[in-house]
Structure 1
Amino acid sequence: MTRDAVKKRHPGREDAADTLFDLIGDEMQPLQPSPTAIHVHDANSPSATYRLVRDVVRSSSLSEGLGTTAAPSTSTVAADALVSTAFIDPLLTPSPKLLFTAILSSFGLDSRSLADDSIDSFIDPIQTHFRGQPSRKGIIVVQRAERMRDIWPEHVWEPLYSLAEQALIPGQLTLITVSSLSIDHFRTSRGAAPITGPGTPISITLGRLKKQDVLRVLERDFDRLWLDFRKRRDDVDERGVKRVYDNFTSIAYDAFASDVRDIDEIRLLSACVWHPFIEPVASGAVAASAIQPLVSQSSHLFRDALARLFPRILSPLEWVQTMLRQQKGLAIREKSRTSEASLALVPSFIVLASFLASFNPSRLDVRYFLRDEASLLPSAIGPDGEEEKVRKRGGALKRKPTSRKRARIDGAIGADAAAKQDLKRQQLLGPRPFPQERLLAIFQALITEAGPEHTTTSARAQDMTRYWEHQAKAVSTYRAIEALCREGRFLVRISPWERIDGGAPMSLRTNVGYEEVKQIADRVDFDLDEWLWDWGP
């Protein structure tokens, strides 16, 4: 692997790769003298940094795969290798004997020459192998270096930083430690200062990857995810799915970056969330070009991943399977709910009335929903002097300018007042509860206004107004309200279910947003905006 290939494989770490190549050599100059010790510190993604160091070290060797972190019997050494490498994990070599054996085996030396577990018996074969052989070079890489302080004895790990000087082969042997801790934390048990003297390592500190670099890393995972997606649905253009994935990775970074700093963990969370995220496209429920519906339906996935997947309450496979089942269930319920809402007239107007009751001020109910307006409007008096039951069709068309609008007219000072009023809008504060009697009164006004348009032929023979006034007070209306409350999708009961009578009136609250209730209003040919008070974009 060349220097350029290593830099391309590790986005955002190009400068760190160049620094390591300059210190230990690259494929053009693998035998250049190198420092005695190098400490690479990455507090965020030490595993990814170890892979970077491993690729750099292998690239600087004339032959790849020279070293091993496993048992010595599995190591392979090329016969013409000039640069020998050893990759050590303290967890796999917990004793000095195993450590020395792994290094010597990786260098192609006979570990049976070790007389005991002392550092001197280890230095002798190293010195014999490299001394007087300028064409030979050795590199030892220790991952999770913070572990060696707890696993290896102090008289073993501390001399490793000056191993080249002790073996009298400066420039031919290099120790590279990769850790989530800085070199300042590598103190002796006596509390002495960090490694000093000729064994002081060159310290390289890597910061957190920027967003554009993280997105480049996540982009490398698309090919594998695309192959998995194509197994389920092969009639979707790859470019369309790629556009969805690019938007998804940006959203995933914004959702995870504040809580997750390890790039490997971000890759895992993003890959797990991607499967239920793209499930509507894979099942054909949503087109690949519909980015906004995908995001709105999957916002809970990112929160759940941080709550259950990140702390490993659920394994990645178990979490993905759980979320896929939930996404499929939501899709089935959505189709069922949509078809039912288009057929049920009374529940639709109950949902509309509950939305208006939650967001319209109660002090404006007379202005919006009063039908007998003879005392308010002269136009309510007919030509024969009789009172006509007419409504102002929402009242919003005749309402006075709000304080926000008047403030905008008043100039600069009014702008501040308008900003304060904006923050007090019920649209921003959220839905508020209301008594059932108010819901029934608003529902009666709405159904009387728009009900005749949906009345059957047999009912048209009657007085339309009286017919729908009777329907608004029918038992079926109360049953519809109770059914909506028990479903919990459109309407929520605030007061306890045990309270039947004798106490405060039953309190309810809408449980739908503007976009959803607007779709319901369009299905029944109802102008929702005419009845809403002070609703803005």
Structure 2
Amino acid sequence: MTAPLQHPGYDEEKLLRVAEKLPCREVQARTLLSLMGEPHQNCYPSIFIYGHRATGKSYVVHTMLKELELPHAIISCVECISVALLFEQVLLSLFGTEAAGLLPRSPSLSDFVRIYRQLCSRSPAKQTRYIVIEKAELLREMDSNLLPALLRLQELAEDNVSVILLSEIVWDKFRPNTGCFEPLLIHFPDYSKDELQQILSEDSHPSYSADLYSDYINILLGVFYSVCRDLRELRHLAALNFSKFCEPLEEGKAKEKDVHKLWRNIEPHLKKAMQTVYLREVSSVQWEQLQQMEEKEAGAIRGLSAYSHVELPYYSKFLLIASYLASYNPARTDRRFFLKHHGKIKKTSFLKKHEKTSNHLLGPKPFPLDRLLAIFYCVVDSRVAPTASIFSQISSLVTLQFLTRVGHDDQLDSPKYKCTVTLDFIQAISRTVKFDVVKYLYDFL
């Protein structure tokens, strides 16, 4: 902390508690405190706080209002999906349950202002009231006159009230076209790497030293900082993988000072965890179960080349498996392999006598896109909608040279592809998703 928070209108002990709970956000807290002014004085009518996700906007505002014991109402536009719910929540938080009952069934803005003024006349404000609106960008989807009215609610209600808007977009994209009262702007920048190191190191495990956990966070940020700056995601990943980091310590194979050994143990697991950043495809319990299952099967995969350990997203693995099956299976066998109710097909008619040469010796054959997708939807475990994400993953496989596009770009029919990976590689990929690819290959019947 650069300097303690100071303000003549607030108790020093309260300010000290606020400063201790807001690491790396002293500048923003000091700015907000100066805008609040004395508790009994009129604050600025509206304040607009913006910054990316997980930059401490809500946490700083909530902590200051709670620790300084200021009257406030915290409204989430995600929960308050209508104007009536928003008005009711404001009156309920500031004036109690009886106040919310004064609103009509479908209140207008004028009804809200009228009732608010009546309640203020009964109980005048001894200090500034604060209305904090989270996810404020959703206000633009409500009534067009709501946002301009909230920005100058202090004037309309004739009360010492200040509206604080929290948003992830800048004010230039937020400002309504009709014009409005301009709020004061406070920007919350992204945490730097050193700031993330300081904040995450405070969550040290009681069974281990603070220095060990700090070294672990340093390793974690070295892997994830280039792709993820979200404090909440990083905190989740740190808690999820710390037990794996400490395994050599529990088994007696390393000491806390052997950071290099600990790093070699955790490195492959952190790389796997990079697939789930922002996605959360599996829960924490499922992730730990997958880690244990993969350890049991590690011996079978350990003999493969390092090229086989490439990490792919979950659905890309199934797309690659489907492309391999399409390249090495004749098209007429798809009905036999992937259709549940295909009827009885005799083996003598299914296996042609003249087909004596293995398809793996002849090499991969081109296949159309619609055949790839048809096989993909049959082999994947869950139902997947044909979204743009699936098609972008096909393009990524082409970029990685796992697939090769066949034909010209200007052809009128659908594009055709060939799979270029080896059998050992596709078997290794199949093991990671618990899929027996050999069972679906024509050459191994």
Q: After TM superposition, list the pairs within 5 Å mapping 1:5-154 onto structure 2.
A: 5-25=17-37, 29-46=38-55, 48-61=56-69, 83-109=70-96, 110-115=99-104, 116-130=106-120, 133=124, 135-150=126-141, 152-154=142-144
The answer to whether the Cα contact below 8 Å between 1:20 and 1:56 also exists between their aligned partners in 2 is no
Q: Output one character per residue of 1:446-499: Cα deviation in whole Å (capped at 9) or x when no partner.
A: xxxxxxxxxxxxxxxxxxxxxxxxxxxxxxxxxxxxxxxxxx9xxxxxxxxxxx
User: In the alignment, what sits opposite 1:527?
Assistant: none
User: In the alignment, what sits opposite 1:290?
Assistant: 258
CA distance in 2, matches of 1:249, 1:278: 13
The answer to whether the Cα contact below 8 Å between 1:42 and 1:180 also exists between their aligned partners in 2 is yes
User: In the alignment, what sits opposite 1:179?
Assistant: 167
Q: CA 1:317–1:154 in structure 2 vs 1: closer, same or farther (change >3 Å)?
A: farther
1:257 equivalent to 2:228? Answer: no
CA distance in 2, matches of 1:328, 1:268: 25
Structure 1 unaligned regions, length at least 5: 62-82, 231-237, 335-487, 489-537
The CA deviation at 1:327 is 5.5
Which residue identity does 2:162 align to in structure 1?
T
**Bigger relative contact order, structure 1 or 2 (CA pairs below 8 A, ≥6 apart):** 2
Q: After TM superposition, list the pairs within 5 Å mapping 1:28-427 onto structure 2.
A: 29-46=38-55, 48-61=56-69, 83-109=70-96, 110-115=99-104, 116-130=106-120, 133=124, 135-150=126-141, 152-169=142-159, 172-188=160-176, 192=177, 195-196=179-180, 199-222=181-204, 225-226=205-206, 230=207, 238-239=208-209, 242-326=210-294
Q: Output one character per residue of 1:114-142: Cα deviation in whole Å (capped at 9) or x when no partner.
A: 23421111112222333593514311001
CA distance in 1, matches of 2:182, 2:131: 16
The CA deviation at 1:16 is 0.5
The answer to whether the Cα contact below 8 Å between 1:40 and 1:205 also exists between their aligned partners in 2 is yes
Which residue identity does 1:176 align to in structure 2?
I
User: In the alignment, what sits opposite 1:430?
Assistant: none
User: In the alignment, what sits opposite 2:330?
Assistant: none
CA distance in 2, matches of 1:300, 1:58: 43
Q: CA 1:87–1:43 in structure 2 vs 1: closer, same or farther (change >3 Å)?
A: same
Which residue identity does 2:76 align to in structure 1?
D
Q: CA 1:60–1:95 in structure 2 vs 1: closer, same or farther (change >3 Å)?
A: same
User: In the alignment, what sits opposite 1:373?
Assistant: none
The CA deviation at 1:282 is 2.5
The answer to whether the Cα contact below 8 Å between 1:140 and 1:174 also exists between their aligned partners in 2 is yes
The CA deviation at 1:182 is 1.2
Which residue identity does 1:113 align to in structure 2?
L
Q: CA 1:267–1:112 in structure 2 vs 1: closer, same or farther (change >3 Å)?
A: same
CA distance in 2, matches of 1:149, 1:324: 48
Which residue identity does 1:51 align to in structure 2?
Y
Q: Output one character per residue of 1:408-459: Cα deviation in whole Å (capped at 9) or x when no partner.
A: xxxxxxxxxxxxxxxxxxxxxxxxxxxxxxxxxxxxxxxxxxxxxxxxxxxx
Q: Output one character per residue of 1:261-288: Cα deviation in whole Å (capped at 9) or x when no partner.
A: 2111111122212221222222333333
Which residue identity does 1:165 align to in structure 2?
E
The CA deviation at 1:32 is 2.9
User: In the alignment, what sits opposite 1:524?
Assistant: none
Give the TM-score normalised by structure 1: 0.50
Q: Which moved more, 1:114-123 or 1:1-10?
A: 1-10
Q: CA 1:217–1:321 in structure 2 vs 1: closer, same or farther (change >3 Å)?
A: farther
3-state SS of 2:101 partner: helix
User: In the alignment, what sits opposite 2:342?
Assistant: none
CA distance in 1, matches of 2:294, 2:228: 25
The answer to whether the Cα contact below 8 Å between 2:228 and 2:277 also exists between their aligned partners in 1 is no
Aligned residues: 287
The CA deviation at 1:330 is 6.3
The CA deviation at 1:326 is 4.2
Q: CA 1:281–1:310 in structure 2 vs 1: closer, same or farther (change >3 Å)?
A: farther
3-state SS of 1:174 partner: strand
Which residue identity does 2:200 align to in structure 1?
L
CA distance in 2, matches of 1:136, 1:15: 24
Q: CA 1:45–1:267 in structure 2 vs 1: closer, same or farther (change >3 Å)?
A: same
The answer to whether the Cα contact below 8 Å between 2:47 and 2:165 also exists between their aligned partners in 1 is yes
Which of 1 and 2 has greater Rg? 1
The answer to whether the Cα contact below 8 Å between 1:36 and 1:173 also exists between their aligned partners in 2 is yes
The answer to whether the Cα contact below 8 Å between 2:136 and 2:167 also exists between their aligned partners in 1 is yes
Which residue identity does 1:184 align to in structure 2?
D
Q: CA 1:11–1:269 in structure 2 vs 1: closer, same or farther (change >3 Å)?
A: same
The answer to whether the Cα contact below 8 Å between 2:17 and 2:67 also exists between their aligned partners in 1 is no
3-state SS of 1:200 partner: coil
Which residue identity does 2:161 align to in structure 1?
L
The CA deviation at 1:328 is 7.6
The CA deviation at 1:325 is 5.0
The answer to whether the Cα contact below 8 Å between 2:50 and 2:186 also exists between their aligned partners in 1 is yes
The answer to whether the Cα contact below 8 Å between 1:7 and 1:14 also exists between their aligned partners in 2 is yes
Q: CA 1:138–1:8 in structure 2 vs 1: closer, same or farther (change >3 Å)?
A: same
Which residue identity does 2:230 align to in structure 1?
D
CA distance in 2, matches of 1:264, 1:166: 38
The answer to whether the Cα contact below 8 Å between 1:44 and 1:207 also exists between their aligned partners in 2 is no
**Aligned CA-pair RMSD:** 2.7
The CA deviation at 1:309 is 4.5
CA distance in 2, matches of 1:307, 1:101: 42
The CA deviation at 1:243 is 2.6
3-state SS of 1:113 partner: coil
The CA deviation at 1:59 is 2.6
CA distance in 1, matches of 2:234, 2:45: 34
CA distance in 1, matches of 2:297, 2:42: 63
